């Protein structure tokens, strides 16, 4: 029954060498690579030819299966070694992470040398709130208000007047029409004649202004106060 179920392909059938008896060991008729295998079986001398061929066929294919198993085992070992190496690299990367990248922060802007100091806006804001004195035409009832507004402006913005004479010239720019214009023109005529401005200081200007434009009673009181202060 076994011989009927197993059919050996024609191209794989093994012929015994000429002059040899079929009733010999199986190792004498199998290829040389299989003779060293541990699966070699010594057959009795009276083993039929068909059974010997079947056993030889089975042993030959078993050897091929073992070779394939060894090749697959080598492939598995190679793959396992590569995975082990990758796992070691990932472990080192987690244990020693690379430093974070340095952000590319732009440098701070360089301040312009022409930039205004911090106090400049406050000064400008103060100046914008100051109002210049109104034009003066020589009226007695407006004389005190005009002189007070000039003194207040000079006190709040002293940096606009580099010298005392500039204060006087600035105040004269508001003399418009009437007796005020004649008095200011007289000051410049005297300067042309003598090459010296007749009113040297702001205090002299206030005194001359009071004499010419304040009411009479106010001028007397101012003179008396000036005399007491001088003493």
Q: What is the pLDDT of residues 175-222, one digit of tens each?
A: 988 889 999 999 899 989 998 888 989 999 999 999 989 987 654 555
Residue 136 in 3-state DSSP? strand
Tokens describing residue 74: 């080598």
Q: What's the pLDDT at 206?
A: 92
Q: Which residues of the chain have pLDDT under 50?
A: 1-6, 8, 10-38, 121-123, 125-126, 219, 226, 228-231
pTM across the whole model: 0.40
What does the block give as tokens for 176? 């418009």
DSSP per-residue codes, 152-213: HHHHH-GGG-SSHHHHHHHHHTTB-SHHHHHHHHHHHHHHHHHSS-S--SHHHHHHHHHHHH
């Amino acid at each position: 029954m076994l011989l009927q179920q197993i059919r050996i392909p024609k191209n794989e059938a093994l012929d015994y060498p000429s002059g040899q008896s079929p009733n010999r060991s199986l190792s004498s008729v199998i290829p040389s690579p299989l003779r060293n295998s541990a699966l070699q079986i010594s057959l009795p001398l009276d083993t039929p030819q068909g059974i010997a061929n079947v056993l030889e066929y089975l042993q030959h294919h078993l050897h091929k299966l073992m070779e394939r198993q060894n090749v697959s085992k080598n492939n598995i070992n190679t793959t396992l070694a590569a995975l082990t190496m990758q796992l070691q690299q990932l472990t080192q990367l987690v244990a020693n992470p690379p430093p974070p990248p340095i952000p590319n922060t732009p440098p701070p802007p360089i301040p312009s040398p022409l930039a205004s100091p911090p106090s400049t806006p406050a000064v400008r804001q103060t100046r914008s709130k100051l109002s210049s004195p109104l034009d003066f035409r020589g009226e007695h009832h407006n004389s005190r208000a005009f002189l007070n507004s000039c003194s207040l402006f000079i006190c709040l913005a002293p940096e606009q007047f580099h010298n005392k004479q500039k204060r006087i010239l600035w105040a004269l720019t508001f003399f418009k029409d009437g007796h005020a214009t004649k008095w200011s023109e007289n000051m410049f005529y005297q300067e042309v004649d003598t090459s010296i401005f007749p009113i040297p200081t702001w205090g002299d200007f206030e005194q001359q202004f009071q004499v010419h434009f304040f009411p009479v009673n106010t001028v007397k009181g101012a003179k008396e106060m000036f005399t007491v202060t001088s003493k």
